[in-house]
Homo-oligomer: A and B are copies of this chain.
Amino acid sequence: MGKLARAAELLRAADRIVILSHSSPDGDTLGSAAALCRALKKLGKAARCECADPVGPKYAYLFEGLHAEPFAPDFVVSVDVADLKLLGSLAERYRGRIDLAIDHHGSHAPFARETYVDAKAAATAEIIFELTGLLGLEVDPATASALYTGISTDTGCFRYSNVTPRTHRMAASLMERGARAEEIDRAMFETKSRARLEMERTVLEHLRFFCGGRGASIHISRADIARAGAQEDDLEGLASLPRQVEGVLAGITLREKEDGSWKASLRTTPPVDAARICRKFGGGGHACAAGCVLRAPLEEAERRLAAAVEEVLREA
């Protein structure tokens, strides 16, 4: 009996289940929660989803027909939550009360009574799909669409390095079970708000190259955001833009914080180690994506980071 079977057993034994998603919710934490909720209801249980932040209109379809029933839970499960803190304002309410955490983050910091982490899963939705099988359930079209949403959004539509053959096979099965793949992908990846377009235009205007085109940087000021009327959602993924330019090995994005300091996001291609560069400025992260904060005017922050990148590029 695998560990996921243990999770299935715990859920089967429960009657009134609350499912927690992380704050600033994305397609995987919401898709996984919605799918698990539908599965548990099929087993005749009371179930509802909770999230500290409101669910954007883009994801409303996930919860269609899922009415939030009022009940006192006898079981609490979190999905795609790597750290208690990521529950946001729900962290305090549920601290010490979470029975099971299901997650795919290798960096998962345990906070639940029992934990199931599969870091090889491209999305928590992959795990939930497996779980429905262990619960002996047939996946219906709404559940299939929710699981597909989790997988597709967490892989950049099958583009990231976390994609495995299992990911594609699950997508195939979910399409056969009625997942509206094309419609979902169009909404998630092919639709841009006007504010998003305005932000893209603005950062392209700021794009600067250094180190003979092997480095590139952009910045996002608070004034730019206000002018475009952009929300947090509209900024998603902008930091990957400079690294996408042909020939660029290190892309810097500087975003102005409320106190006027600049939060830097560094995206690199091997052998340039982003975490190593960011550690020089008191930050950290992964080899290909890292961050740090610089308390300096924009030009100085940009110059200091570019110099650090240049040093590493010269060695590489």
A220-257 contacts to B (CB < 8 Å)? 240, 244-246
Q: Give the number of copies in the complex.
A: 2
**Given A157-B159, A190-B159, A246-B193; A173-B165 close (CB under 8 Å):** yes
The residue of chain B having its C-beta at the shortest distance from the C-beta of A189 within the complex is: B159
Residue A89 lies at the interface, judged by CB distance under 8 Å to chain B? no
Chain B CB within 10 A, most for which of A158, A169, A175: A158
Cβ of A161 < 8 Å from any Cβ of B? yes
- A123 CB to closest chain B CB (Å) equals 14
Contact B207 A204 (CB under 8 A): no
Distance in Å: Cβ of A139 to nearest Cβ of chain B: 14
Secondary structure type dominating chain A contacts: helix
A286 at the interface (CB under 8 A from B): no
Smallest CB separation, A132 vs chain B (Å): 18
Chain B residues within an 8 Å CB radius of A159: 157, 182, 185-186, 189-190
Q: Is the CB of A246 within 8 A of B168?
A: no
B157 adjacent to A194 (CB under 8 Å)? no
User: A220 CB to closest chain B CB, in angstroms?
Assistant: 16
Given contacts A169-B172, A172-B168, A175-B165, whether A194 and B158 have CB atoms under 8 Å apart is: no
A258-276 vs B, CB cutoff 8 Å, 1 = contact: the mask equals: 0000000000000000000
List 10 A–B pairs whose Cβ atoms lie within 8 Å, in order of A's numbering: A159-B189, A163-B182, A165-B176, A168-B168, A168-B172, A169-B169, A192-B246, A197-B204, A201-B201, A204-B204
